Amino acid sequence: DKKFYKEGLIPITEEEANEILNPLPDIEDARKQKHTEINHWRDIQENGVITFTWNNHSWDASKASQDRLAPVLVVAKSGQLPPGFFWTDANNEDVPVTVDDLTAIDAGMTQAMVNMGWKIHERQREMKKEVDELMRASDILNYSVGWTDDNGN
């Protein structure tokens, strides 16, 4: 619906008025803005919760978990773990572990991080390609950043 004003003025819709009063950035600025948003999403994902299963337990595999395990593994390999040492799984259960167990948990963490890191990398590259193929700033700005489903895919 175009609203009419004083004689000689051009009638415009609310949407047209909004475009005039709030212009969109040019297409390259919109792309840069969306790429920055995608990079931020990637960083959040890479620092998020990652788990894996080993020996009938679910284990955390985040960067923080790897940082916690690294010095423990050094001590374990030197034979200096305290008696009755355990590691706490992702379900907050204390699990008695040996040096070999800790080594296996470390390997599982690394593998889980690599697998998830690859999925994150693939998805962020896919999103950037899709954004680069859009030809209108409004489409770029409305592009939804994230996984295509709730399962990290």
Domain assignments of the chain as residue spans, ordered by start: 34-142
- pLDDT of 153 reads 56
Per-residue model confidence (pLDDT) at position 4: 55
pTM for the whole structure: 0.76
- Terminal C-alpha separation, the chain: 42
Contact 38, 131 (CB under 8 A): yes
φ/ψ (deg, to 5) at 31: -60, -45
pLDDT at 42 over 70: yes
pLDDT at 5: 58
pLDDT attached to residue 16: 75
Q: Pseudo-torsion of CA 106, 102, 93, 82, nearest 10°?
A: -140
Q: What are phi and psi of 48, to 5 degrees?
A: -85, -170
Distance CA 70, CA 75 (A): 9
Q: Which of 83, 114, 88 is nearest to 102 (CA)?
A: 88
Q: In this predicted structure, what is the pLDDT of residue 7? A: 66
pLDDT at 149: 81
Q: Are 86 and 123 in contact (CB under 8 A)?
A: no
pLDDT: is 106 or 13 the higher one?
A: 106
pLDDT value of position 83: 95
pLDDT in tens, 43-98: 999 999 999 999 999 999 999 999 999 999 999 999 999 999 999 999 999 999 99
Q: CB under 8 Å to 60, separation ≥6 — which residues?
A: 49, 50, 51, 89, 90, 109
Return d(Cα 104, Cα 100) in angstroms, integer. Answer: 6
**What percent of the chain is predicted at pLDDT more than 70?**
92
